[in-house]
Amino acid sequence: MIRLDNITLTFKDGDTRITAVDHVSLTAHPGTVTGITGPSGSGKSSLLAVAATLITPDSGQVLIDDFDATTLNPAEASDLRRDKIGIVFQQPNLIPSLTALEQLEVMNELGARHSRSKRAEVSARAAELIDAVGLSEHGDKRPHQLSGGQRQRVNIARALMNDPSLLLVDEPTSALDQERGASIIDLILHLTDELNTSTLLVTHDLVHLPRMHAVVHMVDGRLTEQPAVVPA
C-alpha cells in the first residue's frame, strides 16, 4: 500500500519557487490501479517522483507499506526502491545491445554478485515476466527489432523483476496509437491484479479512466474534487 499524506513539493525557479505538488493526499491499495490525470505541467510526474522516493518532498509523508520513506537517506531510499518499487517511465530506455530477456536479467546484476542458482532463478523470473507481457516469442530480440508497443511491454516487465508492492507508471501510452495504448493499459490492469501491486498510473488519455479503480485529477499541483468530464 502507498499513502501520500499532505505532500508539498516546490522547485526553485530563479528568485521564487514553483509549487509542483500542493498539499496532496492519496492512498492506493494492493490490487488496484489509481489513474492520475491532469493537464501538462500540473504536477503528475512530480507526484510520481515523490511516490518513487526519487525526490524528497518539502513536507508531508510518503508511507510505503506503513513505513515513512521521507525519513530515509539516499542510500536507504535506493534500497527501498530495489525491494518494493517498480517504475515505468514514459520512454522505455532499453539498452540497445541487450535482448528483451537480458534487459530484465541485468536488473539483478546491479549492485550484487550472484551464485549460479540465483542466476538460474533470475533467468526463470525474466522468462516468466516476458511471457506475462505477451512477448514469449520475442525474448531474444533487441530493442530495434521490437515495435514501440513491444518495447513498452519489456519496460513494464523489467519494472516487475523485483516483485514490487508498488508500481508507478508515467504516461506509458504517450508514444503509441490508440489501440496499442489500450492494450498497454489492459496489461497494467491485468498485472496489477495478478501481482497485487498498488499501482499509480499517470495518463493524459481520458478514454482509459473508466476502467481504473480510482481516478484523481491534478490541476496546478492540487487534486481537484470533481473528476473532469470524460468526452463520450
**Binding segment toward Mg ion, per CB under 5 A, in 43-51, 74-82, 103-111, 179-187:** 43-51
DSSP 100-160: HHHHHHGGGTTT----HHHHHHHHHHHHHHHHHTT-TT-TT--GGGS-HHHHHHHHHHHHT
For the bound state, the minimum distance from the C-beta of residue 44 to ligand ADP, rounded and expressed in Å, comes to 3
183 binds ligand ADP, rule: CB under 6 A: no
Q: Which listed option, Mg ion, ligand ADP, none, makes contact with residue 20 (CB within 5 to 8 Å by class)?
A: ligand ADP
Select from Mg ion, ligand ADP, none the partner in contact with residue 40, using the beta carbon and a kind-dependent cut-off of 5 to 8 Å: ligand ADP
CB 184 within 8 A of CB 176: yes
- Answer with the entry of Mg ion, ligand ADP, none that 11 interacts with (C-beta below 5 to 8 A by kind): ligand ADP
Type of residue numbered 10: T
What is the residue whose three cell numbers read 507508471? 169
20: helix, coil or strand? strand
* Angle in degrees, 0-180, between the axes of helices 148-159 and 178-195, rounded to the nearest 10: 20
Nearer to Mg ion, 180 or 204 (CB): 204
- The nearest distance, CB 175 to Mg ion, in angstroms, is 13
Q: Does residue 40 bind ligand ADP (CB under 6 A)?
A: yes
- Strand-pairing partners, residue 7, are 24
Helix or strand or coil: residue 1?
Answer: coil
Give residues with Cβ within 8 angstroms of 116, minimum separation 6.
none
Least Å from the CB of residue 38 to ligand ADP: 6
88 scored as a contact of ligand ADP (CB under 6 A)? no
Q: How many residues form the binding site for ligand ADP (CB under 6 A)?
A: 11
Q: Please tell me the distance from the alpha carbon of residue 75 to that of residue 95, in angstroms, as a whole number.
A: 24
Q: Which does 43 bind (CB under 5 to 8 A by kind): ligand ADP, Mg ion, none?
A: ligand ADP
Among 7, 20, 101, 223, binds ligand ADP (CB under 6 A): 20
Residue entry with cell 501481482: 195
When asked if residue 45 is in the footprint of Mg ion (CB under 5 A), the reply is yes
Q: Which residues here bind Mg ion, judged by CB under 5 A?
A: 45
Q: Which residues here bind ligand ADP, judged by CB under 6 A?
A: 11, 18, 20, 38, 40-46
